[in-house]
Amino acid sequence: MGKIRIIYATKTGHSKKIAEAMGKALYVKAENVSTRPVLEDVDLLFIVGGIYGGESLPLLLNFVKALDRGKVKRAVLVTSCATKKHRQDSVRKLLQQKGIEVLDEIICPGSFLFIRFGHPNKRDIEEAVNFALRIAGKERERVE
């Protein structure tokens, strides 16, 4: 069975909320990158993060840069942003440079000032959880 981990980076708490809801559903602890989680033999890594001025947090980018090639096989991005247009492009690029396959990315709306006020709401979180369950289900079926 594939080993799954969930990490997140957050400025205003949305990514934490999303990551913890996903973690509860998958029985996996959601870990803040600020605690410098050590990743070993990970088959599937969920990376939950917000977007600020079109970019991911430097803390997250540095974490991904320092990931050990070969210790993570596949990644999935869960992106919290207000425009619903921005993605974790820099994170994706860094992962691909390391040969870590990015399977999918979901955008989960998150409020910023008056934009998307009230998000992520219950429904947004449910959508992210269902997405995570779908991907984790496929991962657990995977035979290598």
Question: What residues make contact with ligand FMN under the rule CB under 6 A?
Answer: 10-15, 50-54, 80-83, 86, 110-112
13 vs 70 by CB, closer to ligand FMN: 13
CA distance 36 to 59: 10
For ligand FMN, give the closer residue by CB, 23 or 50: 50
- Taking the complex as a whole, the smallest distance from the CB of residue 33 to ligand FMN amounts, in Å, to 11
| DSSP annotation of 115 | B
How far, in Å, CA of 141 to CA of 34, rounded? 31
Inter-axis angle of helices 58-65 and 89-97, nearest 10: 10
Nearer to ligand FMN, 75 or 82 (CB): 82
Nearer to ligand FMN by Cβ, of 5 and 14: the residue is 14
Tell me if 111 sits within 8 A of 82, measured CB to CB: yes
Q: What does the alpha-carbon distance between residue 63 and residue 5 come to, in Å, rounded to a whole number? A: 14
CB of 2 to ligand FMN, least distance (A): 26
Q: What is the nearest approach in angstroms of ligand FMN to the Cβ of residue 70?
A: 29
